[in-house]
Amino acid sequence: MVNPTLCPESIEDIRARRNRTVVAVVYCTFGDESRDESKQRVYAVAGAFGSQEEWDALELVWSARLEGRAFHASDCECGHGEFSKTSHADNQRLYRDLVGIIAKSRIVGQDYRSVFPSDHEHTPYLWGFGDVVQAASELAYLSVPQDEVRIVFDRNEELEFSAAEMYRYCLGMKTIVARGNLFGEISFACRRTVGIQVADLFARETMKHLDNQVGPTTRCERRSFAALRKNHKFRFVCYTRELLEKGIKASPPGSRPGVTLADYRKWLSEKRLDDSLTNRIRHIVEFP
Contact 171, 149 (CB under 8 A): no
Where does residue 202 rank: exposed (0-12), middle (13-18), buried (19+ CB within 10 A)? buried
Work out the average pLDDT over 3-20: 55
Name the band, by pLDDT with cuts 50, 70 and 90, for residue 105. very high
C-alpha to C-alpha distance for 281 and 288, rounded to whole angstroms: 10
Q: Where are the domains of the chain?
A: 4-241, 251-288
* Nearest Cα to Cα of residue 133 among 175, 95, 81, 92: 175
Confidence (pLDDT) at 6: 43
C-alpha to C-alpha distance for 86 and 104, rounded to whole angstroms: 26
CA 113 to chain CA centroid, nearest Å: 10
**Ordered DSSP codes for 112-126:** EEE----SSTTHHHH
Give the CA count within 13 Å in the CB-facing half-sphere of 247: 7
The pairing of strands 27-35 and 43-51 is: antiparallel
- CATH 2.60.40 given to domain 4-241: no
Local structure of residue 220 (DSSP, 8 states):
P
Segment 146-197, tens digit of pLDDT: 999 999 999 999 899 999 999 999 999 888 999 999 999 999 999 999 999 9
Sign of torsion over alpha carbons 241, 126, 225, 216: positive
Specify the range with the lowest mean pLDDT, choosing from 60-74, 81-95, 260-274. Answer: 260-274
Alpha helices in 178-274 (DSSP H): 194-214, 223-229, 241-250, 261-271
Q: First-to-last CA distance in the chain?
A: 51
Residue 20 confidence (pLDDT) above 60:
no
Work out the average pLDDT over 201-227: 94
